[in-house]
């Protein structure tokens, strides 16, 4: 869980801008958000078109597998305003979203500090940078 994360320059800039005005909705968000912010500030930033295919970026569609149950589900990693769990749109500022961004396929993440629920990033189904959908 303590591997080096890689962020696209574009994702880093947009997320750091969001931090300036984001209001924490739940105390459980504080620690993961602070960790994400520190990771972005200290990590390697890569041009979006050069980021490796196995690194999760904003707007990626990924498969998370619950290690305990073996159940795999597809999620779309989105900005907080686009979050909609009913439609499996996971906010990058959620406790899991904070851990997914910038990590690669095969990374194990823990749901939050209160639960013993672990997930593995099993696959990236879609990533805007790969097919050339990326625009800024």
Instruction: Reply yes or no on whether the pLDDT at 112 is more than 80.
Output: no
Domains of the chain and any CATH numbers: 6-126 (3.10.50.30)
Given a cut of 90, whether residue 3 has pLDDT beyond it is no
Per-residue pLDDT at 1 exceeds 50:
no
Structure tokens at 66: 């619950």
Q: Which residue has the higher pLDDT, 17 or 111?
A: 17
Percent of all residues in the chain with a pLDDT value above 90, rounded to a whole number: 61
d(CA 33, CA 29): 6
- Of 15, 60, 9, the closest CA to residue 33 belongs to 15
The per-residue pLDDT for 113 is 62
**How confident is the model over 104-126, as a mean pLDDT?**
89
pLDDT-wise least confident of 18-22, 75-79, 95-99, 106-110: 18-22
* Residue 95 in this model has a pLDDT that exceeds 60: yes
Q: pLDDT (tens digit, 9 = 90+) per residue, 65-84?
A: 999 999 999 999 999 999 99
- Average pLDDT over the chain, rounded to an integer: 88
* CA–CA dist 19, 53 (Å, integer): 26
Q: Residue 110 pairs with which residues in a beta bridge?
A: 118
125-129 contact pairs (CB < 8 A, 24+): 125/61, 125/62, 125/63, 125/74, 126/60, 126/61, 127/53, 127/56, 127/57, 127/59, 127/60, 127/61, 128/57, 128/58, 128/59, 128/60, 129/8, 129/48, 129/49, 129/51, 129/57
């Amino acid at each position: 869980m303590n591997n080096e994360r890689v962020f696209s320059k574009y994702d880093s800039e947009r997320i750091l801008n969001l931090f300036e005005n984001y209001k924490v909705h739940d105390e459980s968000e504080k620690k993961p958000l602070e960790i994400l912010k520190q990771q972005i500030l200290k990590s390697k930033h890569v041009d979006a078109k050069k980021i490796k295919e196995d690194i999760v970026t904003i707007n990626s569609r990924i498969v998370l597998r619950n290690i305990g149950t073996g159940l795999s589900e597809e999620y779309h990693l989105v900005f907080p305003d686009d979050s909609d769990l009913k439609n499996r749109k996971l906010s990058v500022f959620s406790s899991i979203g904070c851990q997914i961004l910038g990590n690669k396929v095969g990374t194990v993440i823990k749901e939050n500090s209160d639960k013993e629920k672990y997930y593995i990033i099993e696959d990236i189904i879609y990533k805007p940078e790969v097919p050339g959908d990326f625009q800024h």
